Amino acid sequence: MADFGADTDLEAFRQEARTWLEANFPPTLKSKAGLAASEVRVEDPDLNKWRKAIGAKGWATPTWPAEYGGGGLSPQQARVLSQEMNRVGAFNPLMFGMGITMVGPTIMDYGTDDQKKKHLPPIIRGEVQWCIGYSEPNAGSDLAALQTKAVDNGEGWTINGSKIWTSGAQYSDWCGALVRTDPSAKKHEGISFMLIDMHQPGIEVRPIPLIAGASPFCETFFTDAKAPRDALLGQLNVGWTVGKRLLQHERASQTGAGGGGAAPTPLQEVAKQYVGVDGQGRLADSDLRTRLSKHLMDARVHSLTLARAMAEAKGNNNPGNAASVLKNSMTSVAQTRSELTLEIYGHQGLGWSGEAFKADEIESVRSWLFGKAMSIYGGSSEIQNNIISKRILGLPDTTQST
């Protein structure tokens, strides 16, 4: 690809992106991002072809450094690419993985040159899957109370303990985990971040069923699991800092900033189909019309705020506290859309299976159920509000005893 500089002709790049997408994106996958988002590995030939093509091109990670296989695009070019993907109903098949959204960016922040060369290229190509080992049965919101420990065995690390809610662990090749390496230190200070190979006998994964059907969640048990000395990401016993940075990347990925996804059918068009219109072409239900209008405005406000935050962060690769605001607003917009969708579908929004219901109707019920987790995972809404109050508004901390 040509070397685009400060005077980039975005229209020339747009044509390049359009031509490449027309040649490489399988039309059979149009608007089927759910295939890639599924927690079950879908063996779809066209999906595999698309994953391989966009990974090799580097456009699944459009702004990542080209030296590791990333796209090396400017933010403006990445935005054009996202627009062109939306135009043809394409999606980023790797955007749903934790390698791209969390671990990869954190490795770029804290990894050694060898760690970057080892881990970033396969993440970019979609050849490996990552999970995150954070929460434990007795360390949820109080994550610093974690007890999974890593002991120096002379050649590397021996890891014992357990993690819970390790999304996608049953399919993962690697785990980025917080472990305790100094039990005698203060609880925030004796923690390190480890890159752990999941393909070893010392690791057992047990999926956790959910009411919504297929579950992403697992329990993960470490029994004398091993990791080499260079599995340490960042400094020894300073993993809390690395772990917080990963959470910032996670929250940024949950604001809708990822792009590269097919746009859903406008909810107002769905409402017109199911609810009907009056003589003036408006939704027949005036109350629903009012609430739907408010939702569409909230969604637009979120989108514009996100665009402003991205513009203000130009040239600064470190995600800021604004991600907490945007994560909460994205959660509100998404959950409200799910609630309105079920209401619009009426009786057709109550189906779980059967020929009486369309695929979109069944999916809406499952999405509504799973969407309840949005205000919990990635840091609950209450935790985000605490971050907003302390770090953005500068309000006093009333949670600590004096």
In the set 250, 269, 312, 339, the catalytic residue is 250
- Quickly count helices (H) and strands (E) in the chain: 13, 8
Residue pair 372/335 in contact (Cβ under 8 Å)? The answer is: yes
Residue pair 306/326 in contact (Cβ under 8 Å)? The answer is: yes
126: left (phi over 0), alpha (psi -120 to 50) or beta: left
CA 334, CA 326: separation in Å to the nearest integer? 12
Q: How far apart are the first and last CA of the chain?
A: 60
Q: Count other Cβ atoms within 10 Å, centred on residue 107.
A: 24
Residue pair 133/165 in contact (Cβ under 8 Å)? The answer is: no
Residue pair 176/106 in contact (Cβ under 8 Å)? The answer is: yes
Choose among 129, 174, 157: nearest CA to 227. Answer: 157
Dig out the tokens for 346 from the structure: 């009426």
Residue pair 350/339 in contact (Cβ under 8 Å)? The answer is: no
CA atoms within 13 A on the CB side of 321: 12
CA 181, CA 179: separation in Å to the nearest integer? 6
Return the SS3 of 186: coil
Rg (Cα) of the chain, in Å, rounded? Answer: 22
Q: Count other Cβ atoms within 10 Å, centred on residue 33.
A: 20
Concatenating the DSSP letter of every residue in 250-304 gives HHHHTTT-----PPPPPHHHHHHHHH-B-TTSSBS-HHHHHHHHHHHHHHHHHHH
H-helix or E-strand spanning residue 197? strand 191-197
The helix-helix angle for 359-371 and 322-345 (nearest 10°) equals 140
| 155 given a catalytic annotation | no
Concatenating the DSSP letter of every residue in 328-381 gives HHHHHHHHHHHHHHHHHHGGGGG-SSSTTS-HHHHHHHHHHHHHGGGGTTTS-H
Residues classed as catalytic: 250
